[in-house]
Amino acid sequence: MKPIFTNDWAGILHPEMEKPYYAELRRKLADEYRSGTVYPDMYRIFSAFHLTALADTRVVILGQDPYHGPNQAHGLSFSVQPGRSVPPSLDNIYRELRDDLGCEPVRHGFLESWAKQGVLLLNNVLTVRRGQAASHQGMGWETFTDAAIAAINERKQPALFILWGRSAQEKGSFIDAGRHLVLKAAHPSPRSADRGFFGSRPFSQANDFLREHGLPEIQWCLPAEPEPLREEGTTVI
């Protein structure tokens, strides 16, 4: 298989791609992309890892699976492509960001600037069928992303894990909370945000943690205009 990763994720994730479960996952994905519409575009499946190297990862925001509408998902959890409307969950994230740090909400949902600063925007499952949320659960992605989280957990350098909702919290059950900071709150979905997401102040807590450990803070306030969607050239299929 052609190498997918060119940064330090290669040493962690390329061995995963040699395992039998991943060979089966790859076969299923090839069938899915050939026979229907799957998001994100196959060239953007691993954008989170391309944009945020393992050594640079200071914060992890864990999502469930990609958005399943046209031209939304591009490989970063909670983020949508430039030019798309802001989804309800992300709108609630912006509301909390404003209340926490005073960042005025922007009119786009493109979070690449966070990824470039060391925020790994990782979904538990990296692909989805059009219009069918959670349709690729149980195919093998969970094992693959567990390996990524385990690699961050095992580093000496501490990281902050932001786990919104039960699914993310179950995914992060093996994180060493004695070495890393784990922030848990309700999911930002309109169905649950009022049950503990609003008022959780994750962004200021993240910067407090980073500052305490001598690490650069994240500039959470987003640019008013998004950068163009960058080209990706490596596919898993």
Listed by start position, the domains of the chain span 9-213
Are residues 37 and 129 in contact, defined by beta-carbon separation less than 8 angstroms? yes
Active site residue 56: no
CATH class for the domain made up of 9-213: alpha beta
pTM of the predicted structure, to 2 decimals: 0.97
86-132: pLDDT as tens digits: 999 999 999 999 999 999 999 999 999 999 999 999 999 999 999 99
Q: Calculate mean pLDDT across residues 7-27.
A: 97
DSSP state of 191: T
Q: Which of 55, 95, 58, 54 is nearest to 209 (CA)?
A: 58
pLDDT band at 1 (very low <50, low <70, confident <90, very high): low
Q: Rounded to an integer, what distance in angstroms lies between the CA atom of residue 188 and that of residue 92?
A: 6
DSSP state of 132: B
pLDDT of residue 223: 97
Q: Calculate mean pLDDT across residues 37-60.
A: 97
Catalytic annotation, pick one of 31, 41, 56, 65? 65
pLDDT of residue 54: 98
Q: Calculate mean pLDDT across residues 169-191.
A: 95
